[in-house]
Structure 1
């Protein structure tokens, strides 16, 4: 499978926004929590309070994992400053459009930071039209992709 084809499948599955599980770890202490994620520019973006434990973990160890409905992603998180300081305020506009209630309730201009996650390795679980399960593996560092059928009986 070509990398570009697999990458297109990834972003189509994730769409514009999702509630995703984010795993981070510091000093062998892992944590998982849900985040409201917005997808654009080939990255996963979310906001959080700069005073949260999550933020301190991301600063100490930017290696994270994200998961949503069969899409498992490993990546690197980057703190991108305050949400209101992003050039063009793209995240803020999309967040308001897709997650209005959360935007309205949890927007604190002076403490809300923007985090982006750049994918490094992705595993997608899916099935074909005959309900045969398969996996797609995307390696963003090598720009390679592989599709493997899962649990398909061999003919012969």
Structure 2
């Protein structure tokens, strides 16, 4: 499998939105919590309150992991500023479309920041047509892919 094919598969499996577990750490203090994610521009985006503990962690250590189902994404988080200041307000439009309940309940414009996670490494578990498990490891820095059968 080539890098572009693996990357397309990843974003196809995640898009347009997922509730993902976000892990972050500062000084060996690890936290995990669910975040409502939108996937576009080959990145994962979520919003959060600028005053939350996770936000303070992200400023100190941008290395994060996100997980849903058989997909773990390791990456670098970048705080992009207020959600309402994103050019074209793409996140806000997609959030309203795909995550209406959360959008309606948690849209506090003055406190909500947009976080972008660019993948650096992905571990994807899946099964083939014969129900045989395999892993795909996607290395974004080197643009390489490893396909590893689990059941042989």
- TM bin (shorter chain): over 0.9
Counterpart position of 2:21? 21
Counterpart position of 1:62? 62
Find the aligned partners of 2:23 and 2:104 in 1 and give their Cα distance.
Answer: 25
Q: How big is each residue's C-alpha offset from its partner over 1:68-118, in whole Å with a ceiling of 9 and x where there is no partner?
A: 000001000000000000000000000000000100110001000000000
Counterpart position of 1:53? 53
Find the aligned partners of 1:62 and 1:114 in 2 and give their Cα distance.
Answer: 14
How many residue pairs get aligned? The number is 152
How do 1:73-88 and structure 2 match up within 5 A?
73-88=73-88
Query: SS at the partner of 2:130?
Result: coil
Matched, 1:11 2:14: no
Deviating above 6 A after TM superposition, structure 1's stretches of 4 or more consecutive aligned residues are: none
Query: SS at the partner of 2:23?
Result: strand
Q: CA deviation at 1:151?
A: 2.9
Task: List alignment gaps of at least 5 residues for structure 2.
Answer: none
Query: SS at the partner of 2:129?
Result: coil
Find the aligned partners of 1:150 and 1:22 in 2 and give their Cα distance.
Answer: 26
Task: List alignment gaps of at least 5 residues for structure 1.
Answer: none
Find the aligned partners of 2:42 and 2:17 in 1 and give their Cα distance.
Answer: 13
Query: Max radius of gyration: which structure?
Result: 1
